[in-house]
């Protein structure tokens, strides 16, 4: 097996397109999944999470904001969605103190912004999405997995997407 069983890129040309991509992701999320988001300030991580929440049937996506100070937001929906932000963290201990390890359950999923700041606690089966600004309204989103199970999930997700 290769180190990266699956990887693909999606380009978006507006915040709305990123929201729609997130909504597709949120509709497909399986219980127990962790989605690790990487990308610079203003890349569109929270915009993607708004879409994920919408797709997961979270009632009011206006409540979806970067949990920069609260560290952890919880949105009830089809799955309980936990939204974390590691931007201001000196390390992973604060997240472990919040019970990070127990957040991903059969009836929940976890999305974490700035996942590259806490690499030691990101599960190896996480779906990683790296967002790179490529223009004022353009973003390139690289989806990747490092394990077979999440790789299969990603492959199915891409196959189900309209081109
Ligand atoms: N294609 C696009 N996809 C997503 N956001 C876009 C796009 N084009 C422009 N934007 C703008 O980029 C900004 C993204 O903000 P957002 O809060 O989602 O970033 P972030 O990665 O969460 O930043 P932070 O690290 O500060 O939390 C918004 O102002 C949004 O309108
Ligand atoms: Mg954010």
Closest residue by CA, ligand 1 atom 31: 15
Structure confidence at residue 32 (pLDDT): 97
**Residue reference for tokens 């604060």:** 94
**Cβ neighbours around 136 below 10 Å, total:** 5
Give the tens place of pLDDT for each residue, 33-48: 999 999 999 999 999 9
Structure confidence at residue 4 (pLDDT): 57
- Looking at residue 29, what DSSP letter applies? P
When divided into structural domains, the chain yields a total of 1
- Looking at residue 117, what DSSP letter applies? G
Residue 3 lies in a domain: no
Residue 6 lies in a domain: no
With a 6 Å cutoff on the Cβ, whether 124 touches ligand 1 is no
Average pLDDT, the chain: 92
Q: Which two tokens stand for residue 59?
A: 């009632």
C-alpha 52 – ligand 2 centre gap (Å): 13
Compare 59 and 49 and report the one with higher pLDDT.
Answer: 49
C-alpha 1 – ligand 2 centre gap (Å): 34
Q: Average the pLDDT over 69-75 and give the result.
A: 88
Output phi, psi for 155, to 5 deg: -60, -45
C-alpha 47 – ligand 1 centre gap (Å): 6
Q: Average the pLDDT over 62-84 and give the result.
A: 91
Structure confidence at residue 163 (pLDDT): 63
Whether pLDDT at 3 is above 70: no
The atom number, within ligand 1, closest to the CA of 131 reads 21
Whether pLDDT at 29 is above 50: yes
Residue 7 lies in a domain: no
How far are the Cα atoms of 37, 90, 94, 108 from residue 118, in angstroms, in the given order?
11, 9, 10, 20
Residue 105 lies in a domain: yes
Residue 62 lies in a domain: yes
Domain that holds residue 59: 12-160
Q: Which of 68, 27, 2 is nearest to 161 (CA)?
A: 27
Residue 1 lies in a domain: no
Structure confidence at residue 5 (pLDDT): 72
Radius of gyration of the chain (CA): 14
Residue 48 lies in a domain: yes
With a 6 Å cutoff on the Cβ, whether 133 touches ligand 1 is no
What CATH code is carried by the domain that includes residue 83? 3.40.50.300
Give the tens place of pLDDT for each residue, 87-115: 988 889 988 988 999 999 999 999 999 99
pTM as predicted: 0.95
Structure confidence at residue 71 (pLDDT): 84
Share of residues in the chain with pLDDT > 90 (%): 77
Whether pLDDT at 2 is above 70: no
C-alpha 49 – ligand 1 centre gap (Å): 10
* CB distance 83 to 111 below 8 Å: yes
């Amino acid at each position: 097996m290769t180190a990266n069983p699956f990887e693909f890129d999606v380009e978006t040309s507006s915040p709305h397109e990123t929201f729609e991509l997130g909504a597709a992701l949120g509709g497909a999320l399986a219980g127990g999944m962790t989605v690790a988001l990487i990308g610079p300030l203003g890349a569109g991580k929270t915009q993607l999470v708004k879409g994920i929440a919408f797709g997961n049937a979270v009632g009011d996506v206006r409540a979806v904001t970067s949990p920069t100070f609260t560290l952890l937001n919880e949105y009830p929906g089809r799955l309980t969605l936990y939204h974390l932000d590691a931007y201001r963290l000196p390390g992973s201990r604060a997240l472990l103190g919040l019970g990070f390890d127990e957040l991903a359950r059969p009836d929940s999923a976890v999305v974490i912004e700035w996942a590259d700041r806490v690499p030691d606690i990101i599960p190896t089966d996480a779906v990683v999405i790296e967002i790179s600004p490529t223009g004022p309204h353009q973003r390139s989103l690289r989806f990747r997995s490092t394990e077979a199970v999440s790789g299969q999930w990603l492959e199915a997700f891409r196959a189900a997407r309209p081109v």
